[in-house]
Amino acid sequence: MQFTQDLSFLHLISNASVLVQVVMGLLLLVSMTSWLYIFQKLLVLRREKRLTAEFEQAFWGAANLNEFYKLVSAIPDAERGALQRIFVAGGLEFSKLKKHALGNDALMEGTRRAMRAAYQREMDRLENHLAFLASVGSVSPYVGLFGTVWGIMNAFRGLANVGQATLAHVAPGIAEALVATAMGLFAAIPAVLAYNRYSHDLNRLATHFESFGEEFSNVLQRQP
- Does residue 158 have a pLDDT over 70? no
Q: Which phi and psi (to 5°) does residue 189 adopt?
A: -60, -50
Residue 86 lies in a domain: no
Over 80: is that where the pLDDT of 165 sits? no
- Look at 3-12, 55-64, 103-112, 168-177 and tell me which has the smallest mean pLDDT: 3-12
Q: What is the pLDDT of residues 184-207, one digit of tens each?
A: 899 999 999 999 999 999 999 999
Query: Residue 106: how many CB atoms within 10 A of its CB?
Result: 11
Q: Are 20 and 147 in contact (CB under 8 A)?
A: yes
Cα 48 → chain centroid = 14
pLDDT of residue 2: 42
**In-domain check, residue 109:** no
Q: What is the pLDDT of residue 41?
A: 95
For residue 139, being part of any structural domain is answered with: yes
Number of domains in the chain: 1
Does residue 58 lie in a domain region?
A: yes
- In order, the DSSP letters of 63-78 are S-HHHHHHHHHTS-GG
What is residue 5's predicted lDDT score, i.e. its pLDDT? 45
Residue 44, pLDDT score:
94
Instruction: Please check whether residue 18 lies inside any domain of the structure.
Output: yes
At 112 the three-state DSSP class reads helix
pLDDT at 173: 67
Single-letter amino acid, residue 114: A
Give the model's pLDDT for residue 103: 74
- Highest mean pLDDT range out of 16-25, 31-40, 64-73, 138-147? 31-40
Helix extents (H) in 62-166 = 65-73, 82-98, 104-126, 130-159
Range of the structural domain that residue 57 is part of = 2-64+130-221
Q: Which of 122-126, 147-151, 164-168, 187-191 has the lowest mean pLDDT?
A: 164-168
- Please report whether residue 110 resides in a domain: no
What residues contact 54, with CB distance under 8 A and at least 6 apart? none
pLDDT at 178: 81
pLDDT for 11: 63
Bigger pLDDT: 106 vs 134: 134
Task: Please give the Cα distance from 66 to 51 (Å, whole number).
Answer: 20
* Top-confidence residue, 76 or 222: 76
| H or E segment and range at residue 128 | none
Mean pLDDT of all residues in the chain?
84
Is residue 216 in some structural domain? Answer: yes
Residue 28: which residues within 8 A CB-CB, separation 6 or more? 183, 187
> Is 184 part of a structural domain of the chain?
yes
Of 9 and 209, more confident: 209
